[in-house]
């Protein structure tokens, strides 16, 4: 199975992602998997109190992403995903830790569990990494998340301001 992973996906406007996945599906016959973050029950709590909810949030995302990857491997199909378990520890959890939104003990626990889980998965045959400037990513993230986060004084909570 070929699994294409589009890292740094935030540089693509949110409304364009389903169309890109649909195009790859139509042209190559790949299974297109788009992560639905709104179903993660930890997100509202996380945006209210990030340090408290960072670990449960990331564990939920990891469990969902590992299960989705296992399903792809079981089915033996080629797929394109917007988010996968392979990027979790090095991108999402690490950023939360480095920004002080996940403490060292929680981060260490998360990384340990991540590595154990990865031992049971075959890595993707191909990963596509899209690079953008911090300014571009910040604008895209603000646009994508602005409607999903609670504002405090006119500024999204995730911005840390």
Helix (H, G, I), strand (E, B) or coil at 154: coil
Q: Catalytic: which of 10, 82, 88, 106?
A: 82
Does 82 qualify as catalytic in the annotation? yes
Residue 13 near residue 143, CB atoms below 8 Å: yes
Helices (H), 87-158: 94-98, 104-118, 134-145
Q: Which residues contact 56 (CB under 8 A, 6 or more apart)?
A: 42, 45
Q: Which residues contact 129 (CB under 8 A, 6 or more apart)?
A: 7, 8
Q: Which of 33, 39, 81 is nearest to 60 (CA)?
A: 39
- Residues classed as catalytic: 82
């Amino acid at each position: 199975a070929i699994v294409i992973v589009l890292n740094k996906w935030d540089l693509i406007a949110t409304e364009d992602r389903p169309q890109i996945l649909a195009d790859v599906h139509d042209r190559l016959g790949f299974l297109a998997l788009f992560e639905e973050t709104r179903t993660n029950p930890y997100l509202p709590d996380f945006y209210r109190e990030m340090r408290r909810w960072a670990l449960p949030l990331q564990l939920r995302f990891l469990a969902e992403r590992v299960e989705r990857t296992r399903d792809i491997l079981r089915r033996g199909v080629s797929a394109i995903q917007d988010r996968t378990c392979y990027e979790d520890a090095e991108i999402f959890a690490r950023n939360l830790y480095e920004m002080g939104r996940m403490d060292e003990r929680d981060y260490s626990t998360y990384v340990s569990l991540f590595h154990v889980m990865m031992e049971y998965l075959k890595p993707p045959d191909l990963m596509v990494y899209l690079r953008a400037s911090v300014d571009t990513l910040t604008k895209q993230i603000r646009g994508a998340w602005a409607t999903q986060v609670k504002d405090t004084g006119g500024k999204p909570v995730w911005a840390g301001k």
